[in-house]
Chains A and B, each alone.
Chain A
Amino acid sequence: MGMFRIEEADRPHIVRLLIIWVILSAIGIVAVLLINYPPYDQTVQGQDQASTLRLLTVLATPVFIGVVMMTVYSAIYFRRTTTELVDGPPALGNTPVQIAWVAISAILVLFLAVVGIATLSSENVAQAVGQPGRAIGQSGGQTGSATSSSGGPELQVQVIAQQWYFTYRYADYGGVETTHLYLPVDRPVELHVTSLDIIHSFWAYQLGVKADANPGVDNIFHVTPQKTGSFQVRCAELCGLWHGHMADSSGQVVSQSDFDTWIAQQQTDFDTIAKAVPSYAPFYFPEPKLKAG
C-alpha cells in the first residue's frame, strides 16, 4: 500500500529489533508455558481459571518483551554520543504507525475480551463466578434446591461467615453444621455464601472459588471437584481484628463413600443441636433484625 514507507535510516534498527523480539518472545513464551498456574486442577472451574491465566501470560509475554526491548534499545542506540547538545530528527509523528499501534492493541484487547466473555458464558466458569446475590426480602423462604441452575443432584452447602470463622451447613443432610468443609469428588456443589455480621470473602484457593459473604445476601457459586485432596480456606476481605487468622487448611475433597461416612458422623454429633435450628435458609440471621417490611 505504500503507507508503511520505511526510511532508510530506520531500516537497520527495525530489522535488528524484529529479530531480537522474535527470539526473546519465543523463549519467553516457552518459559511461561512451563509454569504450573494456580489454582491448579482440583476442580473443573479452577482448571479453567488456570488455563485463562496461562493464556493471558502467553499473550502478555511478547507485549512486555517488545516494550522493554524498545526502551532498552533506545537507551543504548539512541543516546547522545557527542559532548555538545544536539537535536534529533524533528519527527512529529507517523499516522500509519499510530493507527497500526492502536489497531493492534485494540485487536489484542478485543480478543482477550471475547475469550474472557466466552469463558465466562461457558457453563463451568459461569458457575464458578457465581450468581446474583439476592437482597434480603426478595427471595425469603426460597429453598436452596430451587435455586439450582443445572440438572443433577447438586450438593447444597451454605457457607456462613462471621468474625472470624466459617461454618458450613449441609442443607441436604438435615442442616448439619461443621467447621471444616468436606466435599465429595465428581459431584457438583452449590455454595451459598452469606455472612452474619460484616463483609467477608470465602476464598477456597485450590477450589478456584472466591465469593464475598455479605450480610443478608445469598451469593451463589458452583464448583465441581475433580481430584481428591486437601484445600485451604481463607477470608479474602478485610474483616477486622483477626482477619489474618480467619483461615482453615483442613478442607478436604474426598471420595463419595468417605464423604458419606464423614457426614454420618457429623450428623450423629450434631443431632441434638439440629433439632433446634431451622433446616435451611438462603441467608442466615440467627436473630432476624429486620424491623419493618
Chain B
Amino acid sequence: MVVSERRLAIPNNLITGILLAIPAYFAGVWLGTLFGLDDDQNTGVILGYLLATVAFLAGVGFLNYPLERLFGWRVTPIADPVENAGIGRFFRLSLDHKVIGIQYLVTILLMLLFGGIGAMLIRTSLLVPDSTITPAGQYIALIGLHSVMMIFITSAVIVGPFGNYLVPLMIGARRMAFPRLEALSFWVVPPAAVILAAATFWGGFPTGWTGYPPLSEQAGQGMDSYIVGFALIAVALVTSGVNMLATIIGLRAPGMTWTRLPIFVWGIFTTSILGLLAAPVLASALIMLGMDRTLNTTFYVASNGGSNYLWENLFWFFGHPEVYIFILPAFGIIMEIVPHFARKPLWGYRTGVVGLFGVALLSWFVWQHHLFVSGIAPVLRPFYMLSTELISIPTGIIFLVTLGTLWRARVWFTVPMLFCLGFLFNFLIGGISGVYLSDVPTDVTLHGSYFSMAHFHYTIMGGEIFALMAAAYYWLPKMTGKMLSPLLGRIHFWWMFIAFNSTFFPLFIIGLLNMPRRVASYNPDLVGLNRWVTISAYFLFGSMVLFAGNLIYSWFFVSRPALANPWHARSLEWQVPTPVPARNFDRVPVIVGGPYDYGIPNARPVADLGGMVGATGGG
C-alpha cells in the first residue's frame, strides 16, 4: 500500500470547531423541520445539537486521523507533545494528558461558575415564601439548569482534571492508553455545557435533573438540551472509563504492582468501572425519551402501553452508581492526601481498596430506594433497604482507614489537610442522613423533601467538592507550577466550611418541617430559616470567589515557581520536575517502593528514575 504525501491542510482548533458547529446547528434544524413528524421543532433542535456537536468535533480535528487513515494520506503528527508547546495547545486537540487535564480544569471551573450563579438565583428567589422575586416558570428552569449543570460538573470534576493529569504520573506511564478517547472525553464536555445552557433560549426545562416522563414529554424544546447534553456526558463517562481502565491495567511501570498503586488511582479505577457500565444505561434511556418526543414512540406513555416506571428504573439504575462516580475519586483523594501530611503509611491500605470496591459493587443493587413511595411492589422494599444500609459498611472502612492513618501521626496542618478533615465531618453527616433515607418508614416523610436535598448536598458538595479543594491545593503546584497562597487557603477553608454547614444543615430541619424540594413557594412559617440559608449561601458563594481569586492570583500573578516537591511527599508524581517534562519521565521508571512508606526504617525511594533529579521525601 502506498502512503500518499497528501494530508488535510485545514487548521484545527477551538475557533474552527465553533465556526463549523454554528451552520451545522441550523442545518439540523432545517432537516428536522423538513422531515420531523411533529410540528414543535423537537426533531430539528435535537438534530441541530447532534450535528453541531459532530461538526464541532470535526472542526477541532477529531476526523483528521480516521480520514487520513481511510484515504491512505500521511498522518498528521498531533500526538507529539514537544511540537505542541505554547498557550495555543490548550485551544487545540491535544493528546497530551497534561494538556487535557488543564483544559478540563478550566472548563469545569467555568461551568461551576454557571452552576453556582444558578444556585444563588434559586436561593434569592427563596428569600420570600411566594414566587414574587422569580416567577414560578423561571424558578423551575433555574432548578433544572443548576442541577444538570452541577451533575455534569461533578461527574468529571475530579477524574477530568486530576485523573487525566495525574494517573500516568502516578503509575509511571508516559501517556494514556487511548489518548484520542481521552481527548474525546474532554471535547464532548464543552458542547454538552453549551447545549445545556442553550435551554435558556427555550425557557429551560421543568423536570430537574431526574427528567421524569411524562413531564419531560410534555416539556418544551428546552428538554432537548437535557437529552443531548446528558447523552454527551454519558459519552464522556464511557470514553474516560475505557481509557482509564486500560491505562491503569496496561501501562503501569515495571514494579508498580497492584499493592503499590496509589490509592487515588484505585479511586479512579473503581469510578471508571461504574462510569463505563452505568452511562450506557442512561444513554439508552435518553434515546428512548428523545424518540418519544420526536418519533411519537410511547416507551414512557402509560396510556399507550408504555410506563413511566421504565424511565424511573433505567434512570436510577444509572443514577445511583452515578453518585458513587462522584464520590469514589473523592474517597481516593482523602486516603491519598492524608498519609502524606500525617507522615505515616496509609493505615490498612488493602482494606481501603476493598472498601472502594465494596462501594462500587453495592452501588448496583440499591437504585430502587429512590422509588420506595412510587408504588413499586412492597416485597422489593426490604431488599433495597438492606442493600442501601449495607453500603455504610464499606463507606465506614474509608473513615476507618483515614482515622487509623491519623492515629498518633505527626500531622502537618496544610490547607489540603484541612479540607480532608472538613470532608470527614461533612461526609459523615451526609452518610448518616443517607441511612434515614434508606429506611422505608422514615423515607415516607423524608423522600422528596429538603431533607434529601440537604443529604445529597452534604455528600456531593461537602464531600466531593471539599475533596476537590484538597486536591486543588495539593496538586495544582505540580500542574500549574505555582503554589496557591496558603494564607488565602486557610481563610478559604474556614470560610467555606462554616458557610457550607450554615447553608445546608438548616435544610435538614426545613425538610423535616414539611418543605418539598424544587418549590418556588413554600409555607410562610419557614421564611426565617430559608432566609438564614440564603444569606449563608451568599457567604458560601463568596468563599468560592475567594478560591477563584487565589487560583488566578497565584497562577498568573505570582512569579515564584513552586518547588518540584513542596510537600516532601514520597509518591511518584512528586518525583518528576515541575513543570512536568513533555514525556513525563526520561525513561520508564522502575518502581521499587510503596508511595506511603513514611517512617519505615531504610525504606527505599518509590522509584528508580534513571538519573532524573527530583526531590525525595520520607525515609
Interface residues of A (CB under 8 A from B): 9-10, 13, 37-39, 48-49, 52-53, 56, 60, 63-64, 67-68, 70-71, 74-75, 78-80, 82, 85-94, 97-98, 101-102, 105-106, 109, 112-113, 116-117, 119-120, 125-126, 128-133, 135-136, 193, 197-199, 201, 203, 205, 208-212, 214-217, 219, 232, 234-245, 249, 285, 288-292
* Complex interface: chain B residues within 8 A of A289 (CB): 303-304
The majority secondary structure among interface residues of chain A is: mixed
CB distance A216 to B373 under 8 Å? Answer: no
A100 and chain B: residue at smallest CB distance? B400
Q: Does B319 contact A (CB under 8 A)?
A: no
Interface residues of B (CB under 8 A from A): 131, 136-137, 139-140, 143, 206-208, 210, 212-215, 218-219, 302-305, 307-309, 342-345, 347-351, 372-378, 381-382, 385-386, 389-390, 392-393, 396-397, 399-400, 403-404, 406-413, 421, 424-425, 428-429, 432, 435-436, 439-442, 444-445, 447-449, 512-514, 516-523, 568, 597-601, 618
CB distance A117 to B407 under 8 Å? Answer: no
Partner of A71, one of B207, B213, B403, B448: B403
Q: Identify the 9 closest CB pairs spanning chains A and B, nearest first.
A: A133-B375, A87-B599, A244-B519, A289-B303, A216-B302, A219-B375, A236-B448, A74-B406, A93-B348
* Complex interface: chain B residues within 8 A of A13 (CB): 407-408
B618 and chain A: residue at smallest CB distance? A87
* Complex interface: chain B residues within 8 A of A78 (CB): 342, 406-411
CB distance B347 to A93 under 8 Å? Answer: yes
CB distance A101 to B518 under 8 Å? Answer: no
Partner of B375, one of A52, A113, A214, A249: A214
CB distance B308 to A214 under 8 Å? Answer: yes
Q: With A128-B444, A133-B375 known to touch, is A101 a contact of B343 (CB < 8 Å)?
A: no
B393 and chain A: residue at smallest CB distance? A105
* Complex interface: chain A residues within 8 A of B304 (CB): 289-291
Chain B nearest Cβ from A51, distance in angstroms: 9
* Complex interface: chain B residues within 8 A of A67 (CB): 399, 403, 424, 428
Measured CA separation A125–B206 after assembly (Å): 33
CB distance B212 to A238 under 8 Å? Answer: yes
B516 and chain A: residue at smallest CB distance? A236
Chain A nearest Cβ from B376, distance in angstroms: 7
25 A-B pairs in the complex with CB atoms less than 8 angstroms apart: A68-B428, A87-B344, A87-B618, A88-B409, A90-B597, A91-B407, A92-B349, A93-B347, A94-B404, A101-B396, A101-B397, A112-B439, A113-B390, A116-B439, A117-B385, A117-B386, A129-B378, A136-B303, A197-B218, A201-B448, A209-B444, A215-B302, A236-B449, A243-B520, A244-B136
Chain B nearest Cβ from A47, distance in angstroms: 11
Partner of B441, one of A75, A80, A105, A129: A129
Q: With A49-B445, A79-B413 known to touch, is A215 a contact of B218 (CB < 8 Å)?
A: no
Measured CA separation A217–B312 after assembly (Å): 14
Chain B nearest Cβ from A260, distance in angstroms: 30
* Complex interface: chain B residues within 8 A of A235 (CB): 516
CB distance A285 to B303 under 8 Å? Answer: yes
* Complex interface: chain A residues within 8 A of B436 (CB): 53, 56
Partner of A237, one of B345, B386, B406, B448: B448
CB distance B344 to A109 under 8 Å? Answer: no
Instruction: Give me 15 other A-B pairs in contact (C-beta within 8 A), A70-B403, A201-B447 excluded.
Output: A64-B428, A67-B403, A67-B424, A74-B407, A85-B343, A88-B599, A105-B396, A125-B440, A132-B377, A199-B215, A210-B444, A219-B375, A239-B215, A241-B206, A290-B304
